[in-house]
Amino acid sequence: MRISGGTARGIPLLVPKGDAVRPATDGLRQAVFSSLAARVPGARFLDLFAGSGAYGLEALSRGAASGIFIEKNAKAAGCLRHNLAAVCKSLGRGLDNMEIRQADALTAPLDADGAAPGLVFIDPPYEIITELALRLFARLDDLLAAQPDALVVFEMPGELTLTPPGWICLKRLGKGARQPTVCFFRKS
């Protein structure tokens, strides 16, 4: 698995052994970032259930200015630290404006210095999406109140459809009931 575009393109990403993390595929990330295009440079992002950090690191490689990664699993957070250092080295920048929080995405503080992100990446374990989605979107309602144009990029299995109150799905990428898909949500 590698960074698929931007200045750090080709940098390999470490992923913890076992099935604790299901990284976003290179192809799906390429499709997501092709759709996001001009929204990424200079953006502030939040990467929930970050795992290896693939979504946030891809954003960083493509010009995002700052971000917060939240990952509960200690092994995944260790890989994420390594990956962030490798991508930042490739970009010729320090780790300033980047933060990794080893915490639960449903309870961790989601903001930094009171500034809301313009992009939120969510890639949770598929088996817990239905039980956490409404609570997660409720938390994002508060966080993104000052950022009405913020996009939530939510990876989920193709057979699942989410309709959180107060949010609209602008676009869905991916095909097939048993394949990963990504939905772009914005507050309605």
CATH of the domain at 155: 3.40.50.150
Domain that holds residue 35: 26-187
Domain annotation covers residue 16? no
Average pLDDT over residues 115-137: 94
Domain annotation covers residue 31? yes
Average pLDDT over residues 96-125: 89
Domain count, the chain: 1
| Residue 64 identity | A
Average pLDDT over residues 137-143: 92
Band the pLDDT of 21: cuts 50, 70, 90: low
Among 123, 143, 142, which Cα is nearest to 133's? 123
Per-residue pLDDT at 23: 66
Domain annotation covers residue 183? yes
Domain annotation covers residue 37? yes
What is the C-alpha to C-alpha distance for residues 25 and 35, in angstroms, rounded to an integer? 16
Per-residue pLDDT tens over the stretch 40-75: 999 999 999 999 999 999 999 999 999 999 999 999
Domain annotation covers residue 14? no
Domain annotation covers residue 169? yes
- Listed in order, strand segments (DSSP E) in the chain are 44-48, 66-70, 98-101, 119-122, 151-157, 167-173, 180-187
Per-residue pLDDT at 146: 85
Domain annotation covers residue 11? no
Domain annotation covers residue 173? yes
